[in-house]
Amino acid sequence: MIPRYARPEMTALWEAESRFSIWLEIETHAMDAMVDLGIVPADAAKAVHERGGFDVDRIDEIEREVKHDVIAFLTSLSEHVGPEARFVHQGMTSSDVLDTCFNVQLVRAADILLADMDALLAAIKKRAFEHKMTPTIGRSHGIHAEPTTFGLKLAQAYAEFDRNRARLVAAREEIATCAISGAVGTFANIDPSVELHVADKMGLVAEPVSTQVIPRDRHAMFFATLGVIASSIERLATEVRHLQRTEVLEAEEYFSEGQKGSSAMPHKRNPVLTENLTGLARLVRGMALPAMENVALWHERDISHSSVERMIGPDATITLDFALMRLTNVIDNLLIYPERMQANLDKLGGLVHSQRVLLALTQAGVSREDAYRLVQRNAMPVWRGEGQFLELLKADEDVVLSDTDLEALFDLSYHFKHVDTIFDRVFNR
């Protein structure tokens, strides 16, 4: 985690204090269940409730000696509780605590990310309706294609992030499992009802079969989902970056008073936020592969996944949280230039209407091959800056359309007749 790209709420979730607090919560709930089973004295559970605590520095000190974080925690806990602490962790293994805690953290991280996505969706929706009918050029291969609207560009982004939100909801559900099953997951030394009790108290469900660890295919899917969301962030960021290029300049990031764009060139207004988002997206996406590699653990347990998760758990969620917030601010404050969009639309002398001419010719009885040849023959001079498309078509004796018919084909509004239909599909589902 780098403070530059971190927000307090998500960062706090991964701090040692938070992690050990969740551990204590798990152990306490387990003891409560074991009291009901007659395994643990009620006084012992009461003592943990009243005096249960830990000291982070002390845990670190103990761990340096014992080389085991859960044992270090339990030792620190016993120093606060007293002799009753001997009943803590009855029949449990460290993975019960570690894995359940990790899933709790991922679930809580998912809740923060879902709130982030709601804010982003709201920002995109607002700007999409604002520019619902703002004409702009659609591009394929980076080249002018046919007219679209800026609102449709944003509607596409909204639909994509709406899908991503649904994916994250599913990933949250998949990761929301609890394992309190003991060594190798057989429940030999702990009753399954303890697991059910802890799961209920922690807002989780019991893992159907956990070996000694919760299966890592769940985590692989969670981090893969974060990677897909990051890819969508990069896609929208890349769109903004392209639109901000000097030769295009149809939209640009907000440039605040006193902001500097270059240490050498005072005139510069660079798309630094969306470039930053592109880089952050690459990082989050890069953490999906190690999560997938964690699936193949040895037999009932090994810890090859542990070091990976200690990094990617906080780093992926903290980074994505920051990126979603940054993208929301970019969209909220995006400077949009309809006049420049119109100017770019007009730049190719009407060539954006070539398909309408092609189709009209075929409707008039011309073969598709001949129609394509006629349209292209008149389009290429315009491409070279040698005239206007409409005038060249009118002057071509082989183009069997009247001047009035040709002029009607150059109506920009024709392309926007189904914008409402698309908006209804995206926003009114």
CA–CA gap between residue 75 and residue 48 (Å, rounded) = 13
pLDDT tens-digit readout, 309-353: 999 999 999 999 999 999 999 999 999 999 999 999 999 999 999
Domains, the chain: 1-90 (1.10.275.10), 96-260+277-345 (1.20.200.10), 351-409 (1.10.40.30)
Could you read off the pLDDT of 282-304 as tens digits, one per residue?
Answer: 999 999 999 999 999 999 889 98
pLDDT per residue over 54-82, tens digit each? 999 999 999 999 999 999 999 999 999 99
Torsion angle defined by CA atoms of residues 56, 58, 64 and 69, in that order, rounded to the nearest 10 degrees: -50
Three-state secondary structure of the chain: CCHHHCCHHHHHHCCHHHHHHHHHHHHHHHHHHHHHCCCCCHHHHHHHHHHCCCCHHHHHHHHHHHCCHHHHHHHHHHHHHCHHHHHCCCCCCHHHHHHHHHHHHHHHHHHHHHHHHHHHHHHHHHHHHHCCCCEEEEEECCEEEEEEEHHHHHHHHHHHHHHHHHHHHHHHHHHCEECCCCHHHCCCCCCHHHHHHHHHHHCCEECCCCCCCCCCHHHHHHHHHHHHHHHHHHHHHHHHHHHHCCCCCCEECCCCCCCCCCCCCCCCCCCHHHHHHHHHHHHHHHCHHHHHHCCCCCCCCCCHHHHHHHHHHHHHHHHHHHHHHHHHHHHHCCEECHHHHHHHHCCCCCHHHHHHHHHHHHHCCCCHHHHHHHHHHHHHHHHCCCCCHHHHHHHCCCCCCCHHHHHHCCCHHHHHCCHHHHHHHHHCC
Over residues 172-193, the pLDDT tens digits come to 999 999 999 999 999 999 999 9
Dihedral sign for Cα atoms in the order 253, 258, 259, 261: positive
**Two tokens at 408?**
């009607």
State residue 261's pLDDT score. 86
Residues 6+ apart with CB under 8 A from 371: 358, 361, 362
Give 416 or 255, the one with higher predicted confidence.
416
| Interaxial angle between packed helices 217-244 and 272-286, expressed in degrees from 0 to 180 and rounded to the nearest 10 | 160
Over 70: is that where the pLDDT of 429 sits?
Answer: no
| Mean local confidence (pLDDT), 138-143 | 96
- Which positions are catalytic? 141, 262
With both helix axes pointing from N to C terminus, report the angle between 69-81 and 94-130 in degrees, rounded to the nearest 10: 100
- Residue with token string 């460290």: 94
Span 211-227, average pLDDT: 96
The confidence score (pLDDT) of residue 231 equals 98
Average pLDDT over residues 242-259: 94
The answer to whether the CB of 339 falls within 8 A of the CB of 314 is: no
pTM confidence score: 0.95
